[in-house]
Amino acid sequence: MSGKLNRRDFLKALGLGGTATLAGCDMPTTVTLEEGKEDVVSYLLPEEYVIPGVGVTYASTCTQCNAGCGVHGRVREGRVLKVEGHPDSPINAGKTCQMGQALVQAHYNPDRIKSPMVREGGSLVPATWEKAQALLDEKLGSKANLAAGRVAWLTGTVSGHQRALITNHLESVGSNHHFAVEVVNTNVWSAVSRDMLDDPQPQISLDKAKLILSFGADFMGTWQSPVHFAGQFSRMRTAADRGALIQVESKMSMTGGSADLWVAIRPGTEGILALGLANYLIANGVSSASLPGDARDKLAAYDMQKVSNATGVSTATIERIGKALKNRAPSVVLAGAAVEGQVNGYEAVSAIMLLNVMLGNIGQTILPSGKFPLQQLEAKVGGTRDLAAFAQAAAQKQFDVVLVHGANPVFTAPASLKLDEALASVPFKVVMTQFPDETAMMADLVLPVSSTLEDWGTHVAAYQAGASNISIQQPLMEPLYDQTRGFGDIVISMLAMRNAAQYGSFKDYYGYLRNVFANLKGAGATASLSPDEFWNNSLQAGMIKIDSTPRKHTVKASIAAIDAPAADANFPLTLIPSARMGLFDGRHANLPWLQESPDQIAKVVWGSWAEIHPSTASKMGITHGDVIRIESEAGGIEARAYLTNTVHADAIAVPLGQGHTEYGRYAKGRGVNPLKIVKAAVDAKTGELALFATRVKVSKTNKNEIILRLGHSDTQHGRRLVRTVSVDALKRTKGA
């Protein structure tokens, strides 16, 4: 690296490579944190904006999932008390989910790591930052003897300037290995959208739809941007002509609970039903002009009876869905994790997207997204392909140093990937985390990072709802512990070790971001603002609107044959490792509010359970609460049987979230992790793991335990607490 900087290098360092113009910033109404002055003053003289007993609201961004919802934090006497939705956020419009509400519990969690830890003689011991820094310098500094490509970053989905810094850091150490891992993702959907529409994250407009046909997409719980879609769903339901939801899945998701028609389908056969519906639609007068020439012939093989036999959905129901699709335009057809997580997930999602093409939904309810102009800041979207790729590369001893942040791969990786063994073989593992999770416990160096509510950040959500935005995360209070550091601060310091000319001048991440914002300011309504004004306005708004170039959807439909998963007499059931709003992929198992908050459908708290259909259970003599052993080729787990008809008779569902062997007092040693027994099959096209394709067998143990749940009755005993009316009655009262 040269000692001199030109402007292009400088902008690249700031993550601003590319071209962007700003849309007009709205004048915000809330207050920003005052600049970081460090005068020592008595508590008797509070800052002028601090009135004891009066809460002040600051804007920031939620990081509990990757949707990037805007939040308002209520701060009183220097501490954050509560988080609410940011009313002006185009993503969540003032609303929050339960995970967002629990953001404060991640911040005030009693199990946070309070100082760096270094591995000495086999165990992790507390250390000073000087020691940690020296160790980093030795392994990653300018004198470190790093061959090309020997450093890897392993993160969750990461975007904004955190991502830009990671990219720049990798470049500074001569590597390009950035693995982003998320077990809850929509990557196959994105791949299909990219190939069929030339748009990896098309905008979904549920509120314009008269009918949603969702193949297992839990769009209000875990899919892309749940709070945003819940808002759209609400508008669809309250429209003059109320839109309907048909949910087709093997295990009822939270979203499925709101369905007008809920259809249980044999696991892994959703794509077949989609092709069958396409065939039905063509036979019933829907034009196939938008489809490839051979579509009719290919689809003809999926006649009603054959599809019904394969999927277990009755011909009457198939016809019912087909009629609804034909008669209610525009509709929108979605595919969720259980469809994506098959060995032919790509083909199945393609078949589902094909319905959107045939029905003319493209351009109606599926709209082009904007192309975000600052590529360095775009979300690096995590998936399970990277999980497997990392395990493989690490096992082949490709890395000397691995840096982990925002991911807990030791917990989420199926045992068959042997990721823990591979990681153990990496000579130097740095984990930057708030909590003592499973991955941190394997590290050689643990760096305690600030919580979301203590740290700076910028975020660009992968699913950009409405306008393109950079969401801003700002500290809402002083750090709780003096030995934690901001993630950006740590990366800046590592960059400065390698490239003092470019990064040495930034005191910290805050200083870096101030520089970024001084350079972001420019065109449009913001041109006349001083850098300070622009900065303060951006913080107050919690986001910056970015002008993006609209994409155009060019439809390239294709049809591939889909086979049902092969039956296996030794492993008769399919395992559904379902994620849910709340504990999510297990990252929120350390938040007591979410542990004590029931599963939305099963109503179970504080533990694991296995959902099994009563007809399947009775064949095996299993009763409610029996501890059963669930075994795949990759291993076994034990969980209490929960008899319910919300799961298909050929499936057994074990929710994600529990089964932590570390991760603090609320999570550790509670329940089981179904991901551990997932067989490492992949979707052939995308390389994503087929998480929903593992076959299992079930056997009884001689134990029976109480399943802890909210409520003692599943029925209303005729009391009509929740009254249900038909949609006709609603129409007669004009939607009141």
Partner 1 sequence: MSLKNVMENWSAYRKDAEAGGHHTYEHRWAMSINLDLCIGCNACSTACYAENNLAVVGPERFAKGQAMHWMRIERYWDVEDKEYPDQGASFLPMMCQQCGAATCEPVCPVAATYHTPDGLNAQVYNRCIGSRYCSNNCPFRVRYFNFYSYYESAWPEPMHLQLNPDLSVRDKGVMEKCTFCVQRIRVAKDKAKIENRKVKDGEFTTACAQACPTSAIVFGDTMDPESKVSMLWKQHQVTRAVYKQHKEDPELRGYRIFEELNVDPSVMYLERVRDTTV
- Which of the residues 589 through 618 are near partner 1 (CB under 8 A)? 592-598, 600-601, 603, 605-607, 615
**For the window 269-308, what string marks contact with partner 1 as x by the rule CB under 8 A?**
----------------------------------------
Among 59, 135, 173, 244, interactor with partner 1 by CB under 8 A: 244
Does position 500 interact with partner 1 (CB under 8 A)? The reply is no
Among 154, 217, 252, 573, interactor with partner 1 by CB under 8 A: 252
Q: Which is nearer to partner 1, 330 or 582 (CB)?
A: 582
Q: Which is nearer to partner 1, 98 or 290 (CB)?
A: 98
657 vs 445, 579, 580, CA distance in Å?
Answer: 26, 7, 8
Stretch that binds partner 1, among 121-129, 247-255, 279-287, 624-632 (CB under 8 A): 247-255
The answer to whether the beta carbons of residues 169 and 178 sit under 8 Å apart is: no
Q: Which is nearer to partner 1, 25 or 263 (CB)?
A: 263
Q: Which is nearer to partner 1, 616 or 632 (CB)?
A: 616
**Cross-sheet strand order for the sheet of 79-85:** 56-61, 70-76, 79-85
Q: Least separation, in Å, of the C-beta of 234 and partner 1?
A: 4
The answer to whether the beta carbons of residues 203 and 551 sit under 8 Å apart is: no
Residues 6+ apart with CB under 8 A from 46: 52
- Which of the residues 518 through 577 are near partner 1 (CB under 8 A)? none
Report how many residues bind partner 1 under the rule CB under 8 A: 98
Q: Least separation, in Å, of the C-beta of 103 and partner 1?
A: 9
| Half-sphere CA count of 282, side-chain side, radius 13 A | 26
Q: Least separation, in Å, of the C-beta of 720 and partner 1?
A: 9
Does position 257 interact with partner 1 (CB under 8 A)? The reply is yes
Bridge partners, 380 (sequence order): 158
- Which of the residues 61 through 90 are near partner 1 (CB under 8 A)? 76-77, 79-85
Q: Which is nearer to partner 1, 289 or 721 (CB)?
A: 721
**Cross-sheet strand order for the sheet of 457-459:** 457-459, 468-473, 543-546
Q: Is the dihedral of CA 560, 561, 567, 568 positive or negative?
A: negative
Does position 362 interact with partner 1 (CB under 8 A)? The reply is no
- Which of the residues 647 through 706 are near partner 1 (CB under 8 A)? 648, 665, 706
Q: Least separation, in Å, of the C-beta of 456 and partner 1?
A: 21
Per residue, the 3-state secondary structure of 524-536, as one string, reads HHHCCCCHHHHHH
- Which of the residues 143 through 172 are near partner 1 (CB under 8 A)? none
C-alpha span between 693 and 682 (Å, rounded): 9
Q: Least separation, in Å, of the C-beta of 353 and partner 1?
A: 21
Does position 722 interact with partner 1 (CB under 8 A)? The reply is yes
Q: Which is nearer to partner 1, 1 or 730 (CB)?
A: 730
Q: Least separation, in Å, of the C-beta of 327 and partner 1?
A: 9
Among 582, 586, 659, 674, interactor with partner 1 by CB under 8 A: 582
Among 246, 374, 381, 628, interactor with partner 1 by CB under 8 A: 246
Is the N-terminal amide bond of 550 cis, ω within 30° of 0?
no
Q: Least separation, in Å, of the C-beta of 45 and partner 1?
A: 21
- Which of the residues 94 through 123 are near partner 1 (CB under 8 A)? 94-98, 100-102, 104-105, 107-110
Among 260, 303, 420, 547, interactor with partner 1 by CB under 8 A: 260
The answer to whether the beta carbons of residues 625 and 612 sit under 8 Å apart is: no
Q: Least separation, in Å, of the C-beta of 432 and partner 1?
A: 21
C-alpha span between 498 and 136 (Å, rounded): 11
**For the window 452-471, what string marks contact with partner 1 as x by the rule CB under 8 A?**
--------------------
CB atoms under 10 Å from CB of 613, counted, come to 21
Residues 6+ apart with CB under 8 A from 1: 172, 499, 501, 502
**Cross-sheet strand order for the sheet of 428-433:** 123-126, 117-120, 445-448, 428-433, 401-405, 151-155, 177-180
Does position 230 interact with partner 1 (CB under 8 A)? The reply is yes
Does position 716 interact with partner 1 (CB under 8 A)? The reply is yes
Q: Which of 668, 634, 629 is nearest to 652 (CA)?
A: 629
Bridge partners, 433 (sequence order): 448
Does position 727 interact with partner 1 (CB under 8 A)? The reply is yes
C-alpha span between 392 and 389 (Å, rounded): 5
Q: Which of 180, 173, 181, 179 is nearest to 149 (CA)?
A: 173
C-alpha span between 383 and 416 (Å, rounded): 17
